Amino acid sequence: MKIAVVGATGLVGREMLTVLEERGFGQEDVIVAASPKSIGKKISFAGRELTVVSVDDAIAAHPDYAIFSAGAAASRQYAPLFAAVGTTVIDNSSAWRKDPAIPLVVPEINIATATNALTQSSNNAIIIANPNCSTIQMVLAISALEREYGIRRIVVSTYQSITGTGIKAVRQLEAEERGVKPDEMAYPYPIHRNLFPHGGDWLDSGYTTEEQKLVDETRKIFGDPSIMVSATVARVPVVGGHSESVNVELRREYDLADVRRLIEMTPGVVLYDDPTHNLYPMPITSHHRDEVFVGRLRRDPSQPCTLNLWVVADNIRKGAATNAIQIMQELIKLRTKN
């Protein structure tokens, strides 16, 4: 089997290679592709060295799967070219998420949208979108509640790791921690000992693209355009995970013990919640982990049918690399079965 990783030199691309190795793909024919400035570089993978090639060369190799983390512009340009040669593309950018013809997938919730698309394809030439990292952890944490009770409204505030912006942001923070001026500023303000309510680009509505993704993607993944979502994104000086304060109004009254049971039973979710022992999720809890952690679970006394929870996950792992490779694994299972 041939697997191409496009954008292999970036934070998420390198993590994709780590997850591939961890999940038993170390002996497969893995092709690492990146922008022209990275061609010829060496990347360690499963005890061997891989040479970075051009995206065009990766397409010419006709891989079975191409996992993208190269930005929306590259995905829009190259993903259809991979699909045209019979490659199944799993894209981590925002390029295809809003396209109604493209499945937007969190495997534990709606893998059927991807497997149905693959079944209907004559040559495996499909594109599948990986949701935004903040969306993935939130919808997975509340997915069982959506199935059992239905969701009317979500108010979410995110506290997002700088790794969501990329390596330039990490270098900015590290330089500021050392007390030196960064070579490049990923943000318009210092991030060390600071935070700011700004993630993504500004929209005419006054919200940002990161906030709007939480609205649009949640509705698409749950298949319910009536769910109301209000989001505020903040960037915090953390490396290793996104945190979210989530207020959820359900469509009918709930039993808190039943809510706890449903969350505990959700695949990929860990209920990490014991206030008497100060047990609650933090970014250091999720760092290098694939699970989504949920804590601070409590009833909202100000409104019926509503509860609060705190959700934490590693945005580079489950929020990006792991989710994409889980999608691929499920599609491999389907092909093996057929």
All CATH 3.30.360.10 domain ranges of the chain, comma separated, are 133-315
pLDDT the model gives residue 121: 81
pLDDT at 122 exceeding the cut of 80: no
pLDDT at 95 exceeding the cut of 90: yes
pLDDT at 136 exceeding the cut of 80: yes
Q: At what angle do helices 133-149 and 209-222 cross, to 10 degrees?
A: 40
Domain made up of 2-131+319-337: CATH architecture: 3-Layer(aba) Sandwich (3.40)
pLDDT the model gives residue 335: 83
Cα–Cα distance between 240 and 220 in angstroms, integer? 27
Cα–Cα distance between 140 and 129 in angstroms, integer? 16
All CATH 3.40.50.720 domain ranges of the chain, comma separated, are 2-131+319-337
pLDDT the model gives residue 120: 87
Share of residues in the chain with pLDDT > 70 (%)? 99
pLDDT the model gives residue 118: 87
Nearest to 161 by CA among 240, 231, 214, 246: 240
Instruction: Say if CB 33 and CB 55 are below 8 A apart.
Output: yes
pLDDT the model gives residue 336: 82
CATH number for the domain whose boundaries are 133-315: 3.30.360.10
pLDDT at 157 exceeding the cut of 90: yes
Query: Given pLDDT bands bounded at 50, 70 and 90, which one contains residue 220?
Result: very high
Share of residues in the chain with pLDDT > 90 (%)? 96
Average pLDDT, the chain: 96
Mean pLDDT of 251-272: 98
pLDDT at 273 exceeding the cut of 80: yes
Mean pLDDT of 5-32: 97
Count of beta carbons in the 10 Å neighbourhood of residue 315: 29
List the catalytic residues. 133, 242
Buried b (16+ CB within 10 A) or exposed e, 233-269: bebbbbebbbbbebbbbbeeebeeeebeebbeebebb
Two tokens, residue 278: 């100060």
pLDDT the model gives residue 240: 84
pLDDT, tens digit (0-9, with 9 covering 90-100), for 44-77: 999 999 999 999 999 999 999 999 999 999 999 9
